[in-house]
Amino acid sequence: MEIRLQKVIADAGVASRRKAEELIRQGRVTVNGRVSTEMGLKVDPARDHVKVDGRHLKPAAPKAYVMLNKPGRVLTTLEGPGGEGRLTVQQFLRGVKQRVFPVGRLDYDAEGLLLLTNDGQLAQRLLHPRYHVPKTYLVKVKGVLDDGCWKWWGIRS
């Protein structure tokens, strides 16, 4: 089955799709011994030999699904400003061998269920508005909400 080259690279755990596109643009990817800089090139991972920086890709990692009860004061990111003394969800994934990413976001102060996966198709089905997946949030507010707050949220009081 033919799949876009950047997806094959991402599924092998080398990089995200966007970073895989950068690798392709930079000429660091070969398919069957030839440098490939063509975006959207389709390859058959079972038949074609794909290398990144001269190294053969490993087979795609098995699908992984992690449910994390994200505590408050933790960033919903794998990379980024965690070095500023703030924790990221990456610190809670030390035992997870596959490269997973958060499906959606929870605010820094918010706590609750966060799904992380390497299954891009599932993430797309859960997040894209066209699939109408309902999401429920429980919000605790300090103080009293006035009519202006309800209108801002699009709710009639």
Model confidence, pTM: 0.64
Catalytic annotation, pick one of 53, 107, 109, 119: 107
Distance (Å, rounded) from C-alpha 13 to C-alpha 35? 20
Separation of alpha carbons 25 and 137, rounded Å: 41
Q: What are phi and psi of 23, to 5 degrees?
A: -60, -40
β-pairing, 42-43 vs 3-4, is antiparallel
Confidence of residue 82 (pLDDT cuts 50, 70, 90): low
Domains of the chain: 3-56 (3.10.290.10), 62-157 (3.30.70.580)
Q: What digits encode the pLDDT tens for the residues 115-150?
A: 999 998 899 999 999 999 998 888 788 888 787 777
Active site residue 107: yes
